[in-house]
Structures are given as structure tokens and as C-alpha cells.
Amino acid sequence: MTKKLKGKKILVTGGAGFIGSNLCESLLKLGVHVTCLDNFSTGSKNNLLDFVDSKNFNLIEGDIRDLNTCKRASKNQNYILHQAALGSVPRSITDPITTNDVNIGGFLNMLVAAHESKIERFIYAASSSTYGDSYSLPKIENQIGKPLSPYAITKYVNELYAENFNLNYNLDTIGLRYFNVFGPKQNPNGPYAAVIPLFIKKLTNYESPVINGDGSFSRDFTFINNVIQMNILALTTDDKIAINQVYNTAVGERTSLIEMFLLLKKYLSKHDPLISQVEVKFGPERLGDIPHSLASMEKANKLLNYSPSYTLEQGIEMYVEWYIKNNNND
């Protein structure tokens, strides 16, 4: 299936971010001509160093909140992988206006640009936060609750807009609801760092990470390679029923935060036995958090033939090796 992508032109918005840069690198290895659009508000030029000089890579520094920039980046592209967004539930609670401007205004700009440029398929990063206050497990795509944060609202609106653009403009879209993605190039620094890179940074500095709540909250932690796999499947499927859908993008396994912490300790301790002595601390539950998250992978398996290539433990082992090698414990 991946041979179909060779020579194609793909725009990756947010291509300097954690997920976007991993997508860019994987696509380049498949012989794709990749254009990256990023304003470097959360992405990093360091994430592009391994391939920035590739003849098949083009970098546009710009903001998706500017429609003309979106149109310029989308011109002559075959596909768009829209990853650009302001992530983080806490950030959206602190600053809902900017989150809305980027995640809804910028998303709409990209849809308009995609339509005008006659993009063949628009694949976008959706979010498991869309399930909101729904307590049913596993999470099934057509059963969602009310959003619990401004961020969750923006990601749900993305799905509505994508469906509407297919209805009114015949733009083919696929939404991928990411579940707690982790892996190489994920930033462990800053106030909105994701839990796994943040915990690795803490542990390698012999500091106790803080779990919000009692550690029983659980997540469907998803290694980045599984996300890349889903994006490739979404790009290459020929099944018309599989297009204009939204899919969970996860592993389909639930792991508590304390179990995740113990796995990190296990693999980090192989490099530094002193880490095994570091204990976790517990803090108050975080506003907007859902207690448990577990994805049903039935739809993705049935329509995209998706079966995750990496378990949580395999992903953590690979991520720890990458982290230690790249000295990202500063």
C-alpha cells in the first residue's frame, strides 16, 4: 500500500511538532515530497534536523490562523495531514481564546484551502477528549459525551466541520482520535508537557513525578509508530466506506498511571539503577480530566485493517532507549 505514496506531495501542518515531525520523517522514507507548515509556537526546528536538507522536504514557516498562508502551503499538494493545533486540556482552560483561534479558526482555514486546492484527502488529528463525560468503556466512535474542556470542544468542532465540508464541498476527510500518544521527539519541558516524557525527565533527575489523583486513573497510551501506521492507512485506503469517517487511534489496552510509572522505572533503571529508588508523589485530580480511557479498535480494524504494531511496554522500551541516547534529560 505504501508504494502508492511514492512521488506524491503531502502537506503536514504542525510538521515540526512531536507527531508531525515523526510523520514527515516516515513519509520521506516512503519517497513522498513533504511540505511542512509550522509557526514553531510549540514545534521545534530541532525536530527537523534529520531531514531538513532532504531534496524532497520543503519548510514553510507560517501560521494556520492566516488563510493566505494555508492556501499557499496547500497549493499543488495531493494530500494534507493536519496535525497543527494547540494541545493540552490545562492550556485550554487557562487560555480558551487562543485554543479556539488555532484549533477551530485555523482548522477551518485549512479546510477552505484544501477545498480550493482540490486536495484528494484531508486527514486530521482528532482527539480522545471528544468522548468527554461518557463513562462507557471501551470508547466507541459513535458514542460520545459532553466535552469537559475548551480543548475538547475545539476537537469535536473539527469533526463537525470535516463532516460538513464533505457534505457541502465533497472534500474527503478522515479524522483520527489520538489516545495519549508518546514517543521520540516529544517535549518533556514546559508547563503542558505530556505525562510520559515529563515522568522520564523527572526520573532521570532522581525527582519524584506527581500523579494527579491516586494513580488509578487509566489511559490507552499509544506509541507514535502506531499513530504513523494509522495515518498511512488513512492515506492509502481505497475503500470508499472507510473514507469520511472518524477512527480511534490507540492500542486498545488500558493502563493505570501507577502501572505506567512502574514500567518507566523498570526500563530507566536498566540504564541507571539509582532510578529504581525514586518514588512517586500524589497530587489533586486535574480539572477537566476523565478517569478512564480505553479505545475500541473494532472500527479501525474492520475498515482500515489496523492492528497496532507496538504495545505500551514495547513503545516505552524504545522511547527510553531514544531518550537516553539523545540526552533529553536536561
Please tell me the least confidently modeled range out of 27-41, 102-116, 181-195, 296-310: 181-195
pTM over 0.85: yes
State the pLDDT at residue 230: 98
State the pLDDT at residue 162: 98
State the pLDDT at residue 192: 63
Would you say the C-alpha torsion 90, 95, 97, 101 has a positive or negative sign?
negative
Helix 312-325 vs helix 257-269: angle between axes, to the nearest 10 degrees?
50
* % residues pLDDT > 90 (the chain): 87
Grid cell for residue 78:
495531493
Mean pLDDT, residues 297-325: 96
Instruction: Count CB neighbours of 206 within 10 A.
Output: 11
Grid cell for residue 83:
496535525
- Strand, coil or helix: what is 79? strand
Question: Tell me: the pLDDT tens digits for 135-163?
Answer: 899 999 999 999 999 999 999 999 999 99
76 CB burial (10 A radius; 0-12, 13-18, 19+) = exposed
State the pLDDT at residue 191: 66
Grid cell for residue 34:
513533504
Name which of 247, 241, 234 is nearest 140 in CA terms: 247
Mean pLDDT, residues 19-28: 97
State the pLDDT at residue 135: 85
Helix 107-116 vs helix 150-169: angle between axes, to the nearest 10 degrees?
20
Boundaries of every domain in the chain: 2-182+222-253+295-310
Cβ–Cβ < 8 Å for 92, 149: yes
Query: For residue 280, how many C-alpha atoms fall within 13 Å in the half-sphere facing its CB?
Result: 21
**C-alpha to C-alpha distance for 299 and 246, rounded to whole angstroms:** 9
In the predicted structure, residue 105 carries a pLDDT above the cut 60:
yes
Please tell me the least confidently modeled range out of 21-30, 52-61, 205-214: 205-214
Q: How confident is the model at residue 301 (pLDDT cuts 50, 70, 90)?
A: very high
Strand-pair category, 181-182 with 173-178: unpaired
DSSP 242: G
- Strand, coil or helix: what is 173? strand
Active site residues: 151
For 10, the enclosing helix (H) or strand (E) is strand 9-13
φ and ψ at 284, to 5 degrees?
-70, 155
State the pLDDT at residue 329: 44
Higher-scoring residue by pLDDT: 2, 50:
50
CATH architecture of 2-182+222-253+295-310: 3-Layer(aba) Sandwich (3.40)
In the predicted structure, residue 204 carries a pLDDT above the cut 50:
yes
Strand-pair category, 255-256 with 218-219: antiparallel
Q: How confident is the model at residue 290 (pLDDT cuts 50, 70, 90)?
A: confident
Name which of 163, 171, 129 is nearest 148 in CA terms: 129
